[in-house]
Amino acid sequence: MENDWQVRSRFFERLETMGPLTFGEFMQEALIGPYGYYTARARIGGAEADFFTAAGSPLFGYTLANRIVQAWRDFAVDGPLRLVELGPGEGKNAVHMATRLLQLLPDEIPLSIVLVDPSEALVRRQKSLMEDFVFGLAENDRRRLTIAWETLPLRGEGDVVVVANEVLDALPVERLRKEKGWQRMMVKADGPDGLLTYWEAAPNQLAQLANRFLPIQEGTSAELCPQMHSFFESVGGMGNRVRALFIDYGITTEEWRSGIRPSGTVRAYRNHEICDVLEATPWCDITADVNWDHAFDAASAAGFTISPLKTQGSFLMEWGIMDVVSHLAESSSSEDNARTLSPTFEPQAARYAGQIKQLVFPGGMGERFLVMECEKV
């Protein structure tokens, strides 16, 4: 297995052969290319990782399951519950959701879960975790649960619920500068271990998007995701009726206009610290705030009706996270809970206080993260 420096060397060798890239092309290569972060390094959640995510908490997955079951009931059908999770990471959230869904659904209702992830390395981790999870299920639950892995675009019929936690922020963005018109950042390899950036005139289509969604001041920069519309078109094609939940951090057009982010929102994380994107690539996760107005426009164009944004904290409270705490505390000594809970979770309800604080309260993810719910019927 190659070490970090060997992977980085191969990454730069590959960039040299590719020539100049737009920042969006570079970001995609740095994240999911053959030597990208999610392919060769990905460390997700926990103190030893590069960043924290709600997906590692059973409280999060169980509460999402409450919302998913209600969406299935709203479909008013007696057929299976079909769930698609985009960007499932290491698969922990899928395990937590499946555990609770099997408890909440009637015994005769099948549960179908499709995991969509572009990283083969993460898919291997997900499959290993799912194999252990399914092995420990009761016979009836094993019989009614199916798990599959697919790639985008994913086409389907019938009713489907889609969950995407911290997916929109990882879609490749183009870095743009307003300088007597619109310019886009270009990136190319500069020797065996360096990157060179420069600006060129943005193509007309990208400039038109920037005029609509980036009301920034002259001399400042920002970013946009050119794939936003095609992404939501893909989500809309996953079923005849689609209920989708997107949980992420983002920025609005009004916030861009206020000038609070004059250099944009692109950043990188390594060892829980913000690092320089160009210097740390491909050892780091790269992210950018979701442009919510652009996302709303793309979802609407794809046929979705969008509910007003909610904070993650209010969403989790609305859908019963405190009841989930009580449920997990009461059943923590059972064999089922011992199998599904993270080893770091304590059995008493009081031990969940730190998780509640992180997921719900403003000082953690509760206010910074927002929930975008949309429906296509």
Give the separation between CA 244 and CA 241, rounded to whole angstroms. 10
Could you give the angle at the alpha carbon of 107 between the alpha carbons of 102 and 111, nearest 5°? Answer: 45
Confidence (pLDDT) at 244: 98
What type of residue is 347? P
Dump pLDDT digits (tens) for 154-180.
888 899 999 999 999 999 999 999 999
Domains of the chain: 4-49+170-306 (3.40.50.12710), 54-165+310-372 (3.40.50)
Give the separation between CA 341 and CA 332, rounded to whole angstroms. 8
Burial class (CB in 10 A: 0-12, 13-18, 19+), 37: buried
Give the separation between CA 47 and CA 26, rounded to whole angstroms. 28
Q: Which residues lie closer than 8 Å to 36 by C-beta, 6 or more apart? A: 11, 28, 29, 30, 282
Q: In 3D, which of 9, 15, 53 has the Cα closest to residue 33?
A: 15
What type of residue is 28? Q
Determine contact, residues 206/226, Cβ cutoff 8 Å: yes
What type of residue is 117? D
Assess whether the previous peptide bond of 153 is cis (omega < 30° from 0).
yes
Q: Which two tokens stand for residue 38?
A: 């999610």
Determine contact, residues 313/359, Cβ cutoff 8 Å: yes
Confidence (pLDDT) at 49: 66
Instruction: Give average pLDDT by consecutive 10-residue segment, the chain, 377 residues.
Output: 81 94 97 91 71 88 98 92 96 97 96 95 94 96 96 89 97 97 96 90 97 97 97 96 98 95 95 89 94 98 97 97 90 52 50 86 91 97
Q: Which residues lie closer than 8 Å to 103 by C-beta, 6 or more apart? A: none
Phi, psi values for residue 287, rounded to 5° = -145, 165
Q: Is the dihedral of CA 132, 123, 236, 246 positive or negative?
A: positive
